[in-house]
A = this chain, B = another copy of it.
């Protein structure tokens, strides 16, 4: 039930970075009896990770990875794309290396040149939390674990990552790195900007009305915003560093997604402008029909 292939996970497993994703991987693997070795940046993080039991052995010295058969790089995209030399030197050449980055083409391009057994992957699970306190058991259950193998990806290494995803009970999905990046640009990175722009527009629209004599508007928009506004703005009110990182690393696909979005919104605006209510109704009927396909 947990594994769709016969491959068993070979340990010990190294986890580099014990934040939300790395810490959750550590907790689940330990609960399944796998030996986990954690590498973190700071002593204070190492201590807290030990207290939380995120790994059997936590250190700030990359030597902790020495005997690992699989190493998961659970690092932010910028550190993943520009890895420290001492980390690279410490990765065993026979080990399978994988990552958890939310953008895949630049990661695959960089890492397939850095390590012969690299597998690009993206476990799609998240909460609003980050840092050493964020890791939690069962984070990946029934969530997509996307891998984006390239032409040189080692099939045996890929099977090890599949064994990892299976142990964590994630849903295994394989696609091209470019396709992955186009898809997440549309359903994950575009929503951040669409949602942030809504917060900025509500504030700016109210401020503009206030300047024109409607001085109650800034207070009124804040008092009248209800659950619909809260939902639509949730991802736009999230972590700015993550937002900038995804825009930087997935820029081309995000710009393409923004262009599609602009055209769709402008079509709706034209219908309102010119009173084409049947056309607006048809578009809103279509968006209502589409939504369940994405849930």
Residues of A within 8 A of B (CB): 124, 126, 143-144, 146, 173, 175-176, 178-180, 182-188, 190-206, 208-209, 214, 216-217, 220-241, 243-244, 247-248, 251, 254-258, 260-265, 267-269, 272-273, 275, 277, 280-281, 283-288, 290-295
Residues of B within 8 Å of A275, CB to CB, are 248, 251
Q: Is the interface of A mostly helix, strand, loop or mixed?
A: helix
A277 CA / B206 CA spacing, docked (Å): 27
Which chain B residues lie closer than 8 Å to A203 at the CB level? 290
Chain B residue numbers with a CB within 8 Å of A220 are 175, 179-180, 183
Contacts of A290 in B (CB 8 A): 199-200, 202-203, 237
Q: Separation in Å of the A291 CB from the closest CB of chain B?
A: 3
Chain B residues with Cβ below 8 Å from A208 are 260
Distance to closest chain B CB from A89 (angstroms) = 30
How many Å lie between the Cα of A243 and that of B286 in the bound state? 13
User: Is the Cβ of B222 less than 8 Å from the Cβ of A205?
Assistant: no
Name the B residues within 8 Å of A229 (CB-CB): 187-188, 191, 294
> Nearest 3 CB-CB pairs, A to B?
A237-B291, A240-B284, A196-B287
Query: Do A201 and B173 form a contact, CB below 8 Å, given A228-B191, A235-B228, A244-B281?
Result: no
Closest to A239 in B: B288
